Amino acid sequence: MLTTTIDQTNGIAILEPHGALSKDDFVTAAHIIDPYIGKQGGLNGLIIHTESFPGWDSFAALSSHLTFVKNHHEKISRLAFVTDSPIGNLAENIAAHFVSAQIRSFPFQELKQAKFWINSR
């Protein structure tokens, strides 16, 4: 399950995975994020907040995740991985080659600092 919320005051989408990610998680996230982007023209940032990375429940889920990234990366200014998982640093380095957003990793407990970084542009 993927909880998706939008901090409308700061223009930040927060994604919080709870267990292996499914194809429907990314469809639901897009249904929440897309109306905001349509109205505002983009997001100041997107935060992935999870203590450890849960993975995907299927190849279809991974494919849906990649499609979500492809469809949204140009509409997001900054991307923060807020996690204690070593995947956060790896994802930061890999994602930098595929997305236009500035990317930074933070320890799991530093959600507030990640929001501050996104809004300090």
Domains in the chain: ranges and CATH: 2-119 (3.30.750)
**Long-range CB contact pairs, 74-77, < 8 A, 24+:** 74/100, 75/37, 75/41, 75/42, 75/43, 76/13, 76/42, 76/43, 76/45, 76/46, 76/101, 77/42, 77/43, 77/44, 77/45, 77/101, 77/102, 77/118, 77/121
Mean pLDDT: which of 9-18, 76-85, 86-95, 101-110 is highest? 9-18
d(CA 115, CA 16): 14
> Which region among 17-21, 69-73, 78-82 has the lowest average model confidence (pLDDT)?
69-73
- Res. 111: pLDDT tops 80: yes
pLDDT tens string 38-77? 999 999 999 999 998 888 898 888 788 878 878 777 888 9
Q: Are strands 2-7 and 12-17 parallel, antiparallel or unpaired?
A: antiparallel
pLDDT tens string 26-45? 999 999 999 999 999 999 99
* Whether this model's pTM surpasses 0.75: yes
